[in-house]
Structure 1
Amino acid sequence: MVLIWLLVFSLLHSSGQGRLRRDAGGRGGVYEHLGGAPRRRKLYCATKYHLQIPPSGRVGGSLENSVYSILEITAVEVGIVAIKGLFSGRYLAMNKRGRLYASEYYNAECEFVERLHELGYNTYASRLYRTAPSGAGARHKASAERLWYVSINGKGRPRRGFKTRRTQKSSLFLPRVLDGKDHEMVRLFHTSVRYRESLRKPADKSERKRRQGRSPVLEAGRGPALPEVPSVSRQPLPGHSDPPSA
C-alpha cells in the first residue's frame, strides 16, 4: 500500500513540474525564465508587429518575417531576462529617458522583468528605470511606482517607457516559437561566417536608401547578400557564449 502511495505521489510531482515549464497558450517557455537554456523566440506584439533588433541600433517593429526578429531570451536572475537579437548580436536596452535601443554590449540597461499577463501575453519592464511615486506619503506607497515597459505602437515604433502601461496593447507580447524556415536561417547563421558577418554589419547610407521601408525577409531558398566584411567585436552575456563558427 505504501508503495502505491509513493508511486502516485511521484507521478503527481512530475506532472506538476511539466506544467510549470509550459505556456498557457501552448507556446512553451514562458516559465523557463526560472532557469534553463536561452529561448529562441519571436516577440509578437498585440499591435501586430514583431519586435526586431537590427545592427543599426534602432529598435522597432516589423510586419514582415525579418531575420532581425529572431531573438534569444536569456535568464540572468529569477524573473529577469536579457533579450538579444540573434542575427544582429545586439541586446535590447532601455535608457534613462525611456527610449529603447540596441546595445552592442551587455549592461544593466539590458535587463528586463518578464511577467505573464492575465490575458496570456508577456510583458517586459525595465529593471533599472521606473516612475517613482510622488506626493505626500510617497515613500510608503511602493505599489504606486509605475514600471516602464517595452512597447511597440500601431505604427511599429517604440514608445517611451514612461508613457507605457501594462494594460496597453502595445506592451503585450506573445513569445512565438520558430518555424522551419526560421530554424534553417539559424542553421545557416551558425555554419556560415560570411553570412553571419554580413547580417551584423550596419548598412551604409547608399544601402539604407536602397532598402528604405524594407526589412530583410526570410525568403525560401535565399537570404541577404553575403559581402566580405570584418567581424564585429562585442561582449557576450555572462555565462553565455555564441556557438563556434564553422
Structure 2
Amino acid sequence: MLTPTQHEAYQKPRAPSAVRTYSLRCAGGQGCDPRLRRDAGGRGGVYEYLGGAPRHRKLYCATKYHLQIHPGGKIDGTLEENNPFSILEITAVDVGVVAIKGIFSGRYLAMNEKGRLYASTTFNQECELMERMHELGYNTYASHHFRTSPSPTSTGRRRASAERLWYVSINGKGRPKSGLKTRRTEKASLFLPRVLGHKDHDLVQLLFNSSLGYRHTAFRLTGSTRQRRQRHWADTLESGDNDEDD
C-alpha cells in the first residue's frame, strides 16, 4: 500500500519564500501618511483587528454631538446628522494607537502639549491618539504623548494616584475641552463610533468623484445644506403667518 507521500498525485510542498519587511518611519519633524507606518513585525499601519482597512466613521459623543474637523483647523461638535465635516477616517498607526482624519477637511485631529485640540494639516506625533473601548460600546481617545504625571512628594515617594491621561472631549455646548481638565468617566470623553448612513456614503462618493478638491466640495455641500435650512425656516415662518391671518 502506497503512503500519501509515495502516491503519484502527491506533490512535495514548496518551501515558503522569504518575505522581506520594511520599517518605514516618519522623519524627524516631518509629517507622513500614517498608513505607511509599519510595526515591529513588518505589518502595515492598518491592522487585522480593524478589518484590514481604514474605518469611515462618525464619532458621536455622549453629549449628543458629532465630532467634526473643519478645514480652517477648528474642532467642535455638531448636532446635524449629515454634516460632511463629521465624516472621519480612523487609521491604526500602532497597536491601540490611531490617527483620525476628517475626510472633507483633509486635516488630522491633534492635541498639543497644552491640551488644546486642533486640526493639523500634516500627520505628526500630536495626531497619535490612544483608542480604548469601554462599556456600552463607547470609546475614548487620549493623547499618546502628553499626559499629567504624578508629582513626587517631599519625601521622594510618588503619590498613590496614577498618571492622568488627556482625553478628546466635547462638552454639552459642542465645544472642545482642554485635555488637562478631562476625565475618562465623564460623558464629554465618551464617543460612539457610528457607521456611515446612506446620505453620508453619497457625500463621500461625491467627494471622491469630484475634481474640486476637499475644501471646495465641502463648502459647496455645507452651503447647500445651509440654504436648504434657511428655506425650511422661511417656509415655516411663512406658514405660521398665514395661520395667524386665518
How far is the alpha carbon of 1:36 from its aligned partner? Answer: 2.1
1:216 aligns to 2:222 (yes or no): yes
1:41·1:72 contact (CA, 8 Å) conserved in 2? yes
Q: 1:128 to 1:192 in 2, by over 3 A?
A: same
1:59·1:101 contact (CA, 8 Å) conserved in 2? yes
1:170 aligns to 2:188 (yes or no): yes
1:54 aligns to 2:70 (yes or no): yes
Q: 1:101 aligns to what? A: 118
How far is the alpha carbon of 1:117 from its aligned partner? Answer: 1.1
- Local SS of the residue matching 2:200: helix
Relative contact order (alpha carbons < 8 A, sep ≥ 6): 1 or 2 greater?
A: 1
Residues 184-203 of structure 1: pairs in structure 2 closer than 5 A: 184-194=202-212, 196-199=214-217
- Local SS of the residue matching 2:175: coil
1:148·1:161 contact (CA, 8 Å) conserved in 2? yes
Unaligned runs of 5+ in 1: 1-30, 204-214, 223-246
Unaligned runs of 5+ in 2: 1-46, 229-246
Q: 1:166 to 1:34 in 2, by over 3 A?
A: same
Q: Measure, in 1, the Cα distance between the counterparts of 2:159 and 2:94.
A: 25
Q: Where has structure 1 moved over 6 Å in runs of 4 or more? A: none
- Local SS of the residue matching 1:119: helix
Greater Rg, structure 1 or structure 2? Answer: 2
How far is the alpha carbon of 1:185 from its aligned partner? Answer: 0.7
The correspondence for 1:73, drawn from 57, 77, 90, is 90
Q: Measure, in 2, the Cα distance between the counterparts of 1:217 and 1:181.
A: 16
TM-score of the superposed pair, with normalisation by structure 2? 0.66
TM-score of the superposed pair, with normalisation by structure 1? 0.66
Identity %: 66
Q: 1:34 to 1:41 in 2, by over 3 A?
A: closer
1:188·1:195 contact (CA, 8 Å) conserved in 2? no
Q: Decide which moves more: 40-49 or 140-149.
A: 140-149
Q: 2:52 aligns to what? A: 36
Q: Measure, in 1, the Cα distance between the counterparts of 2:160 and 2:92.
A: 25
Q: 1:96 to 1:35 in 2, by over 3 A?
A: farther
Q: 1:134 to 1:69 in 2, by over 3 A?
A: same
Q: 1:128 to 1:200 in 2, by over 3 A?
A: farther
